[in-house]
Structure 1
C-alpha cells in the first residue's frame, strides 16, 4: 500500500526496504511440502524448509501448505491409494496433481508464499 511516508505491505505492515530486527528470534512456520522426483511426490513436513528440501533428492518443489504433522498425516491418509509401501512417497496421480494445484493457488514459486508466511509471523512477534 502506498502512503505519503512509504510503501507498506498490506499484510504484514513492514515498510518496503526495512530490515527485520535481528534481535527477534526467528518465527516458527511449519509447512507441508510437496517434492517431485520423476513420477513420485514426497509429502513431508518441516519448520525449516530450506534445510529439509536441500537434504532430499528431488527435481521440483511443487508446493508448500501451511501446517504441521497433523496436516501431513491427513494428506498421507487422503492419498493412501497412491502411496509407495510405507514411505512418504506417492505416485503423481491426477488426484494428487489437482490437489497440489489447489494448494499452489496460482502462486508460481512456492518460496514466495513461504516468505509471506514468515513475514506475517515476524510482524505478529513485533
Structure 2
C-alpha cells in the first residue's frame, strides 16, 4: 500500500506543509497551494477567456484577463478603451484570395468584408497587405491560369502554394484585424 504524499511547500516559518496531496495530482502540491500557484500564474501571464464584450478594434471575443484589466487576445487592444470616433477608420488595402469551386479570385479592397460578401465564394483563403499594384503583380505572376483575362484563376499548384505562404497559418480575418488594430494603435 502506497503512503499518501504530503505537500512539497515549505512554509514561511521553515516547516513543511503537512496537507495531503491528492493521489492523482500531477504536482506535489495540496489543493490550497495549487490554487495559490494558479493565482500567481494568472497575475503574471493572465487568463485567456471571453471578453466581457467584443473588442472595439477588431471584433474578437477572445481576451486575456489580468488583474489590471482585459486585453484582446487577437489585437491586444485594451478592453474599455475606445478608438477615436472623430477620426475616419484607417485605410487598409488588402489583396484577397477567395475560392469558388475550382476557381480562385485575386482581388483588392479597402473593405474586404463588404466586397467579399458581394461575390460568390466558398471560402476566404488569404489576405495580403497591398493595393492595386500588388494585385496586378499577382495577376501577372499567375497569368498562365487566368480565366478570360479577369480576376479569376484556375486553382493550380503554384497559386495554392503562394496562398499558403501568404496565409502563414493564420485565419485571414484574424490577420486583417491585427493589421487594422496596428494602424489604429499608431494613431495614438
The normalised TM-score by structure 2 is 0.60
CA distance in 1: counterparts of 2:186 and 2:76, whole angstroms? 10
- Indicate the residue corresponding to 1:116 in structure 2: 178
1:26-41 counterparts in 2 under 5 A?
26-41=89-104
Q: Offset at 1:28?
A: 0.2
User: Structure 1 residue runs of 4+, over 4 Å off?
Assistant: 1-4, 6-9
- Aligned-residue offset at 1:23: 2.2
| TM-score, with structure 1 as normaliser | 0.88
- Residue 13 of structure 1 contacts residue 123 of structure 1 at CA under 8 Å; is this kept in 2? no
Distance between the aligned counterparts of 1:29 and 1:87, measured in 2?
Answer: 23
Distance 1:49 1:105 in 2: 19
> Secondary structure of 1:26's partner?
coil
State the 1:5 CA deviation: 3.8
Pair member with larger Rg? 2
Task: Give the Cα–Cα distance (whole angstroms) in 2 for the partners of residues 63 and 30 of structure 1.
Answer: 13
Cα-Cα RMSD: 2.2
SS at match of 1:42: strand
Higher relative CO (Cα under 8 Å, sequence separation at least 6) belongs to: 1
Correspondences of 1:89-108 after superposition (within 5 Å): 89-107=152-170
Q: Which runs of 5 or more structure 1 residues have no equivalent in the other structure?
A: none
1:68: which partner in 2? Answer: 131
- How many residues align? The count is 125
